[in-house]
């Protein structure tokens, strides 16, 4: 198989998959000096927007090509002009797949089947990997299935009545289900293609296979994760919702021998020698349980800050110039960072083009914000988290859960500053930079569904976070025109961008260093930072468990 990169494509031609493939085919025949019939297959592999020159915004493509039977790949490569040689290479077209059962003996006894705790992206892909391998896992999720969870979120948005077990954070699909479903990642892993292909098979749009910044959308994800659950069950796995782990039972050696769960007020002991813990970064009760059980925990760096909202049209113009609004481009995303002289950094995270700020509380009496977009990304506003790192040295004492307590205290202060009912504190950027309270919005109407209380956000977050926001916003305004415009809206707080805890595991076996049989996994355990990295970590931990059972 050959791969050709750096194929330029106009916005008009690149508006469809067919047009992109036509551009790739044209460039392939030119570079290889061959005819169209010499190519048996041309597949779009990657598509990105090149907006470095606002006068010439276009797409850049790469394609993977199979040559027709009887055609010598190496002879074709000899025709590539020397100046283009770096753009064309031979690649291995094999893609990773789920491991299949080797024989009936692989199926464990009912009292020894592996348990997966948490049905977020890490837990879903861990359970799917185990199920496809014939190990009949039990997947436990404290929240609801997608339908009931969606109803719980809508009910909270409308009434302020929070279900602590089923909300934006908890339930099928985890926090990612209601945060746009962005799949771009800074990591490179051959398992990414397996994850993307699985998501497409479950109902995601096909363009995630090649889009450089793929996303699914919070309106599509509930169906996707529901279909993955159906696949787990069809392979022999069991999935239980509204089931909460309340104890991890250890033997005399400190190894896992089972879990205790509650469902509808009834406790049940489930024996197990292997538990994949994929509980997510907001499962504070689980972290407290781990500390009680003596499982090795460490503090880790995390981040807190605010959600910032602009008009999407302003962001589009700043990034795309006169091409802004072209239907092939869609709503423009951004990624920004400013490094300050004090050693701190201010950075954007989880940017949601054409999206809205969501109410992401999972504990009563605390306000939490996050962001989401629908698949169309056609909302009036753009929003993103604007964050500052919290390092272990910023925390008092030695408690490994000190970061959780800091998050909780900020969320409770926000609840009080918002006036209760899960209203969020909000302030205009211009007022924030001048150190004065806001009294209402300008051009940009905040989208947080429970409503905002205008004033000052200084009391909500730690002083170094506020100081870094205040110093860094003008710097970001120099990188992206209008970013620090006076009527941009800051809604506080964003506290759940990542886990403040690492559940320490062995690098190779993925097993807890203190607790044999426990496999800490995904974002909550400190080993991922988004949907893609969490999903691949779920597959990795499941494969490590499979290898251990077969050893």
pLDDT in tens, 345-385: 999 999 999 999 999 999 999 999 999 999 999 999 999 99
Q: What is the mean pLDDT of residues 431-449?
A: 97
Q: What is the dihedral of CA 420, 422, 428, 432, to 10 degrees?
A: 60
pLDDT digits (tens, 9 = 90+) for 502-537: 999 999 999 999 999 999 999 999 999 889 999 999
Q: What is the pTM of this model?
A: 0.95
Question: Which ranges in the chain are annotated with CATH 3.50.50.60?
Answer: 110-297+502-550
Sorting pLDDT into bands at 50, 70 and 90, what band is 184? confident
User: Residue 223's Cα: distance from chain center in Å?
Assistant: 17
As a whole number of angstroms, the distance between CA 347 and CA 370 comes to 15
* pLDDT at residue 101 is higher than 90: no
Q: How many CB atoms lie within 10 A of CB 55?
A: 7
CATH superfamily of 110-297+502-550: FAD/NAD(P)-binding domain (3.50.50.60)
Tokens describing residue 74: 């190496």
CA dihedral of residues 374, 376, 382, 383 (deg, nearest 10):
20
Q: Quick check: 527 and 520 in contact, CB under 8 A?
A: yes
Q: What is the pLDDT of residue 178?
A: 87
Tokens of 419: 């006036």
Q: d(Cα 34, Cα 73) in Å, to the nearest integer?
A: 11
Query: Is 2-90 CATH 3.30.70.2700?
Result: yes
- Which helix (H) or strand (E) is 347 found in, with range? strand 345-352
Domain with CATH 3.30.70.2700 in the chain: 2-90
The span from the CA of 1 to the CA of 93, in Å, is 6
Residues 387/494, Cβ–Cβ less than 8 Å:
yes
Asked if residue 221 lies in contact with residue 373, where contact means CB atoms within 8 angstroms, the answer is: no
Q: Which of 94 and 410 is assigned the larger pLDDT?
A: 410
CA neighbor of 179 nearest in space, from 142, 216, 152: 216
């Amino acid at each position: 198989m050959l791969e050709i990169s750096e194929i330029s494509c106009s916005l008009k031609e690149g508006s469809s998959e067919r047009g992109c493939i036509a551009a790739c085919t044209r460039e392939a025949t030119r570079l290889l000096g061959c005819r169209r019939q010499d190519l048996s297959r041309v597949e779009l592999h990657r598509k990105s927007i090149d907006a470095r020159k606002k006068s010439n915004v276009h797409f850049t493509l790469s394609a993977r090509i199979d040559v027709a039977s009887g055609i010598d790949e190496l002879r074709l490569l000899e025709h590539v002009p020397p100046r283009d040689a770096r753009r064309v290479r031979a690649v291995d077209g094999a893609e990773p797949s789920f491991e299949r059962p080797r024989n009936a003996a692989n199926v464990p006894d009912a009292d020894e089947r592996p348990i997966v705790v948490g049905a977020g992206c890490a837990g879903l892909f861990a359970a799917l990997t185990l199920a496809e391998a014939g190990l009949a896992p039990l997947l436990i999720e404290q929240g609801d299935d997608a339908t009931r969870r969606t109803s719980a979120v809508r009910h909270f948005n409308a009434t302020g009545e929070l279900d602590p077990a089923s909300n934006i954070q908890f339930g099928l699909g985890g926090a990612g289900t209601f945060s746009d479903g962005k799949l771009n990642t800074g990591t490179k892993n051959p398992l990414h293609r397996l994850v993307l292909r699985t998501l497409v098979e479950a109902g995601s749009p096909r363009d995630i296979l090649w889009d450089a910044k793929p996303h699914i959308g919070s309106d599509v994800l509930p169906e996707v994760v529901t279909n993955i659950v159906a696949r787990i069950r069809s392979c022999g796995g069991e999935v239980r919702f509204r089931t909460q782990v309340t104890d991890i039972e250890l033997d005399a050696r400190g190894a896992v021998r089972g879990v205790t769960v509650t469902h509808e007020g009834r406790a049940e002991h489930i024996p197990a020698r292997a538990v994949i813990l994929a509980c997510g970064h907001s499962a504070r009760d689980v972290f407290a349980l781990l500390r009680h059980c003596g499982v090795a925990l460490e503090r880790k760096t995390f981040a807190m800050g605010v959600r910032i909202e602009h008009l999407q049209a302003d962001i589009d113009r700043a990034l795309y110039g006169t091409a802004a609004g072209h239907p092939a481009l869609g709503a423009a995303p951004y990624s920004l960072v400013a490094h300050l002289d004090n050693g701190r950094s201010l950075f954007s995270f989880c940017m949601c083009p054409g999206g809205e700020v969501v109410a992401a509380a999972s504990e009563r009496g605390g306000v939490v914000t996050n962001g989401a977009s629908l698949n169309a990304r056609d909302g009036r506003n753009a929003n993103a988290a604007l964050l500052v790192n919290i390092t272990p040295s910023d925390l008092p004492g030695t408690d490994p859960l000190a970061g959780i307590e800091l998050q909780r205290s900020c969320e409770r202060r926000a609840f009080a500053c918002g006036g209760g009912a899960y209203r969020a504190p909000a302030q205009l950027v211009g007022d924030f930079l001048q150190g004065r309270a806001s009294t209402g919005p300008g051009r940009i109407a905040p989208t947080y569904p429970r409503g905002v209380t205008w004033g000052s956000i200084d009391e909500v977050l730690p002083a170094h976070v506020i100081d870094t926001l205040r110093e860094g916003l003008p710097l970001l305004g120099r990188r992206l025109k209008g970013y620090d415009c006076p009527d941009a809206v800051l809604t506080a707080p964003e506290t759940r961008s990542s886990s403040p805890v690492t559940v320490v595991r062995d690098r190779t076996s993925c097993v807890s260093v203190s607790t044999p049989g426990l496999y800490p996994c995904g974002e909550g355990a400190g080993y991922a930072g988004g949907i893609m990295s969490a999903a691949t970590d779920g597959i990795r931990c499941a494969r490590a468990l499979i290898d251990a059972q077969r050893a």
